[in-house]
Amino acid sequence: VTLLWGPGRTPLTAKDRRQMGVEDFVTFDDLHGLVRRHIGSCRYDAMIHAAAVSDYRLAEGTGGKEGEKVASNRQEWVLRLVPTPKIVDEVKALDPHVLLVKFKLVSGRTREELLRIAAASREASQADLILGNDLQQIDAERHPAVLLDKAGLVAEYATQRQ
């Protein structure tokens, strides 16, 4: 087991780190490189991709010119963002045999919309399984989710414990 561990709410214990091969990442580029290296080695049976990776990054050349001091009295900054590649969508190209589990979080969608969006997302990455849920439906007691494979709905869950 190799755990690619980014900044998050729950710190790993020393015991966790001893029991698993843990590689820390901070940036999108860090994670992208780690996934390419590990999955590209074709040594893994499965990848569970639960990271919430940035969808956008700062465009090159946004701000000032390289090596140039920007005046501190500047009244406004305009930043241009560009999309980042979907790391999970590259996994099957790196290793077509790896079992890929993907997650899809939406917000304020109906069950039917969630099923449609999750199915399309699974197809885009060729994931073997996708777990979809809606942020608006999650609270302290409930964490409803749907699990889909290529054929469609596999299971539905009402709580995180299930």
Residue 1's pLDDT is what? 87
Between β-strands 145-149 and 129-134, what pairing exists: parallel, antiparallel or unpaired?
Answer: antiparallel
Position of tokens 């849920």? 133
Residue 131's pLDDT is what? 97
- Residues lower than pLDDT 50 in the chain: none
pTM: 0.84
Residues 6+ apart with CB under 8 A from 59: 79, 80, 81, 82
Residue 60's pLDDT is what? 80
Position of tokens 């700062």? 58
List, for residues 2-28, the tens digit of each pLDDT value.
999 998 878 899 998 889 999 999 999
